[in-house]
Amino acid sequence: MLTGSIVALVTPFTAQGNVDYSELEDLVNWHCEQGTDAIVAMGTTGESATMSHDEHILVVSAVVELAAGRIAVIAGNGSNSTAEAVHLTERMSHLELAGFLNVNPYYNKPSQRGLIAHYRACAEASDIPQLLYNVPGRTAADLLPEQVAELAEIPNIVGIKEATGDVTRVRRLRELCGDDFILLSGDDPTSCEFLLAGGNGVISVTANVMPDIMKEMVTAALAGDRDRAEELDKQMAPVHAAMFVQANPIPVKWALSLMNKIKANYRLPMTEPELKQQEHIEQTLQQAGLI
């Protein structure tokens, strides 16, 4: 339930800035139909940093209810405040979750010791399996493999979403953490190579718009079919690039709006892409046959 093709789901909003639960239901149903293995609800792609705790929990609860056991649900439980992350974890622990995804505390720039203490406190707040999430490009903190190995000794810390784009970390993490520790790519452009190097899955932004192709690529890569996996990855490569022409989730929400899946509404400080980027995203989706 914590491996395979996992979508980092966007959160749709109305023009008034409220969560659009009708569009959320449509997205959940679509991913069930397209074969996505799991949904991350209220991760950073879901604009969790701009949501109140009550909103956050309501969205996760809604996704669990809408999924109705058809697809695994992973809840984002991260914050740059350890106390807030613990509080979120405790408040969602009654839900039928496959796991939590806990991002490095952002802005604070904690030391490795601080990162370990943060993750340990969150793990102690619930028996539900937890995934670490290392994305130094967004948090200014890099959880190093040696510290991941220390955290892997905690029974309910079962894996990591590694978003450095450094595929060499797969081998190092596997050496230090063992075969049972789940290694997930959090970097779409390098995800295929990550899987072929020994990873167990991907938590993907591109899966929001190409869930079937992402699922097929992940399946091929995990089966060791390099040629097929690389062929599918090459097909997705222009979309990978387009999804990051501006900070995530700005481009992917714009793409989904062009696909008539959601309306392009954001929570400030996120706003719609610049006109040149809008045109690039639209052209990329047209060339990929998505619109």
- Is there a contact between 217 and 202 (Cβ–Cβ < 8 Å)? no
Active site residue 161: yes
First to last CA, the chain: 31
Find out whether 182 is annotated in a ligand binding site: no
**Using a CB cutoff of 8 Å and minimum separation of 24, what contacts does 115-122 make?**
115/141, 115/143, 115/147, 116/147, 116/150, 116/151, 117/82, 118/82, 118/85, 119/151, 119/154, 119/157, 120/151, 120/154, 121/82, 121/85, 121/86, 122/77, 122/82, 122/85, 122/86, 122/89
Is there a contact between 285 and 259 (Cβ–Cβ < 8 Å)? yes
CB 256 within 8 A of CB 208: yes
Q: In angstroms, rounded to a whole number, what is the distance separating the alpha carbons of residues 144 and 134?
A: 9
Q: Which DSSP string do the residues of 250-271 spell out, in sequence order? A: HHHHHHHHHTTSS-----TT--
Rounded alpha-carbon distances, angstroms, from residue 224 to 79, 91, 92, 147, 269? 36, 40, 36, 29, 42
| Cβ-based neighbour number of residue 227 at 10 Å | 8
CA torsion sign for 116, 117, 122, 127 is positive
Least Cα distance to 43 among 108, 1, 92 occurs for 92
Query: Structure tokens of 207?
Result: 């899966």
Residue tagged active-site, from 106, 107, 109, 161: 161
45 annotated among ligand-binding-site residues:
yes
Active-site residue among 106, 107, 119, 133?
133
Q: Is 263 a catalytic residue?
A: no
Q: Where is the binding site for pyruvate, in residues?
A: 45, 203
Q: Where is the binding site, in residues?
A: 45, 203
| Active site amino acids | 133, 161
